[in-house]
């Protein structure tokens, strides 16, 4: 979201008859609070998240809870992970059923993240098999077949954000992960970053 999207101009008349232009904040609570993911800050109690999320629960265990949500034009699972019942990480795991839509949806997500966090610190495409490297119209197929993966990442003072698109034995994986930098080592000790894969 760009800075321009934060304010809307409203004209109103004051008692002197002059017209005044006011800038009315829109979506300001998102930026005034110290929100790290959605409206929540790192270390928010699990009970706070469960009380505020309105979507249907898809999965829950002692350290995680997932909801069915819509993000932009995509269906997704919103996953939260907790350390000592406090928010430590979150991810959107997107549903893709058509290889033709992969790159378009990835580009939409990337654009939204750039609007929110600025230029990425890292933006790479890794080719495991170069068969389609010189055929951009087939990049979606290359991802679908597992020939390539895309990864774009950002960092804030408190958060590591990674947009990821790849394919493997579980199918196409497109996700955006948010990790609290203060507990990232503890989360890594739990297992690989794709520890949510295969839950659904």
* 77-110 residue pLDDT tens: 999 999 999 999 999 988 766 666 778 888 888 9
| Mean per-residue pLDDT over the chain, rounded | 76
**Does one domain contain both 14 and 51?**
no
Strand order in the sheet with 64-71: 57-60, 64-71, 74-83, 86-94, 171-180, 159-168, 148-155, 122-127
Please give the share of the chain, as a percent, with pLDDT higher than 70.
74
**164: helix, coil or strand?**
strand
Q: Which residue's structure tokens are 């520890």?
A: 195
Residue 101 domain-assigned (yes or no): yes
**Does one domain contain both 180 and 121?**
yes
Q: pLDDT class for 21, splitting at 50, 70, 90?
A: very low
**Does one domain contain both 61 and 94?**
yes
pLDDT the model gives residue 34: 53
**Domain, as residue range, for 23:** 1-32
Residue 197 domain-assigned (yes or no): no
**Domain total of the chain:** 2
Stretch (H or E) spanning 29:
helix 28-32
**Does one domain contain both 7 and 99?**
no
Backbone CA torsion sign across 38, 41, 42, 44 = negative
Reported in sequence order, the residue ranges of 46-170 that DSSP labels E, i.e. its strands, are 57-60, 64-71, 74-83, 86-94, 122-127, 148-155, 159-168
**Does one domain contain both 19 and 65?**
no
Tokens of residue 58, six digits: 């898809």
**Does one domain contain both 110 and 142?**
yes
Whole-number Å distance between alpha carbons of 140 and 98: 9
**Assessment of whether the complete model's pTM goes beyond 0.85:** no
How far, in Å, are 19, 22, 23 from residue 9 at the CA level? 12, 6, 5
Output the CA angle 142-144-150, nearest 5 degrees.
70
**Does one domain contain both 24 and 80?**
no
Q: pLDDT class for 3, splitting at 50, 70, 90?
A: very low
Whole-number Å distance between alpha carbons of 79 and 73: 18
**Does one domain contain both 60 and 18?**
no
**Does one domain contain both 25 and 38?**
no
**Does one domain contain both 42 and 79?**
yes
**Does one domain contain both 81 and 5?**
no
Residue 150 domain-assigned (yes or no): yes
Contact 153, 122 (CB under 8 A): yes
**48: helix, coil or strand?**
helix
pLDDT at 186 over 60: yes
């Amino acid at each position: 979201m760009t800075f321009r999207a934060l304010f809307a101009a409203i004209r109103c008349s004051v008692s002197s008859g002059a017209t005044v232009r006011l800038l009315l904040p829109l979506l300001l609570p998102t930026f005034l609070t110290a929100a790290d993911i959605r409206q929540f800050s790192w270390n928010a109690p699990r009970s706070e998240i469960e009380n505020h999320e309105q979507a249907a629960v898809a999965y829950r265990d002692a350290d995680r809870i997932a909801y069915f949500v819509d993000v932009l034009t995509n269906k997704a699972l919103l996953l939260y992970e907790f350390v000592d019942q406090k928010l430590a990480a979150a991810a959107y795991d997107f549903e893709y059923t058509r290889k033709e839509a992969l790159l378009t949806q990835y580009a939409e997500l990337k654009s939204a993240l750039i609007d929110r966090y600025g230029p990425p610190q890292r933006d790479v495409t890794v080719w495991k098999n170069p068969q389609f490297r010189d055929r951009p119209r087939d990049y979606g197929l290359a991802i679908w077949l597992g020939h390539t993966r895309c990864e774009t990442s950002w960092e804030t003072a408190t958060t590591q954000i990674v947009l990821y698109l790849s394919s493997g034995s579980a199918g196409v994986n497109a996700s955006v992960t948010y990790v609290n930098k203060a507990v990232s080592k503890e989360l890594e000790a739990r297992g690989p970053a794709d520890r949510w894969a295969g839950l659904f």
